[in-house]
Amino acid sequence: MLFQLNEEQLMIRQAARDFAQTELKPGVIERDEHQKFPAEQVKKLGELGFLGMMVSEKYNGSGLDALSYVLVMEELSKVDASASVVVSVNNSLVCFGLEAYGSDFQKEKYLKPLAAGEKIGAFCLSEPEAGSDATSQQTTAEDKGDHYLLNGTKNWITNGGTASTYLVIAQTDKSLRHKGINAFIVEKGMEGFTVGPKENKMGIRGSDTHSLMFNDVKVPKENRIGENGFGFKFAMKTLEGGRIGIAAQALGIAAGAYELALDYAKQRKAFGKPIAEHQAIAFKLADMATHIEAARLLVYKAAWLKDQGQPYTLAGSMAKLYASKVAMEVTVEAVQIHGGYGFVKEYHVERLMRDAKITQIYEGTSEIQKMVISREIIR
């Protein structure tokens, strides 16, 4: 592998870094405190082409590689994980799923505005009784000939209130278990589709997270993705790419906290010299830097494998497992290095610590990643 980014990738990373500092950082503490969705910032992210990065230009995407995508995710997440998760869901789950498996009609009608950033998408898998276990879907889609009748509830849906297009996983024939699951495109405004109250979360508080309720929602037959019974495979294949995006988010959160801690340790003095020169702090910084670099290599490798058209299930799960662990550990240490200042919002690290935890939970918990990894290495 080459460890040097090309000129285009360097430019994309710099653009994302500049955007994070000039557009996301101002107001990020207030958005977190008031759970305010970064609507204006997300609109600008769409204008920059960051909401359809890996989609072909044919469908209004940027036509970029997965490595460029994780570079953007890393830089945005250093400052505002609530904004970066919008980029993650729209790219990794919604746009990827539609381009890879959608019909020409679905790509024309739904993918194009999503990739252009004109609309936002949501991926609807989790339920009250079915989180990481996609085979236990209680949401049902009854075949009525020219349409399906959708009933059920989805939980913890990112972009739940702001999305226009929803990819919904539902059970059509329970007797077939995972082979009876389908994926559907649901539009906001369809009769019987309602959005529940926004969740009051510990972290990524600016992210728009809701429960969704479907009560006899009529979904046209042409809105089913793939052949009958393809839904489970669709969800699993889509989540594989999603793990890379969340791994990049975790990496960015860790790197952002480390950069703040390093800067603070160079300026803060104790016993006559900067605390960075005290071995207790210097060793913390050394460990943080090493773990972040190891996580970065795992994340970049997973993206590189995806770009090469090679299997990336194992690499993606390893990257997600390790990067999320590093994010949690590094942000805790960043708060510790800041001392009392780390406990107040002004210095950002307490928010990054709260944001880090979710990376160990969504797109499959750490325990799920270990199941995937163990299955792959035993195989």
End-to-end CA distance of the chain: 25
The pLDDT of residue 137: 83
Calpha distance 341→58 (Å, rounded): 49
CATH topology of domain 233-378: Butyryl-CoA Dehydrogenase, subunit A; domain 3 (1.20.140)
CATH topology of domain 7-120: Butyryl-Coa Dehydrogenase, subunit A; domain 1 (1.10.540)
Give the DSSP letter string of 135-186.
Answer: GG---EEEE-SSEEEEEEEEEEEETTTT-SEEEEEEES-GGGGGGGEEEEEE
The pLDDT of residue 181: 96
Residue 368 near residue 318, CB atoms below 8 Å = no
Q: How far is CA 269 from the centre of its chain?
A: 38
Q: Would you name the residues annotated as active-site residues?
A: 363
Report the top-level CATH class of 122-231: mainly beta
Residue ranges per domain, the chain? 7-120, 122-231, 233-378
In this structure, which amino acid lies at residue 134? A
- Mean pLDDT per block of 10 residues along the chain (379 residues) reads 86 98 97 97 97 97 97 98 98 97 98 97 90 78 96 96 97 91 97 96 96 97 96 94 96 98 96 96 98 98 96 96 98 98 95 97 88 92
Q: Which residues pair with 153 in a beta bridge?
A: 213
Pairing relationship of beta strands 165-171 and 121-124 according to DSSP bridges: parallel
Tokens representing residue 329 in the block: 């550990």
Number of Cα atoms under 13 Å in the Cβ half of residue 182: 24
The pLDDT of residue 10: 97
Q: What are phi and psi of 105, to 5 degrees?
A: -60, -45
Place of tokens 């995972």: 178
Residue 267 near residue 96, CB atoms below 8 Å = no
Distances in Å between the Cα of 117 and the Cα atoms of 61, 215, 344 are 9, 29, 35
Pairing relationship of beta strands 181-187 and 165-171 according to DSSP bridges: antiparallel
Number of Cα atoms under 13 Å in the Cβ half of residue 157: 31
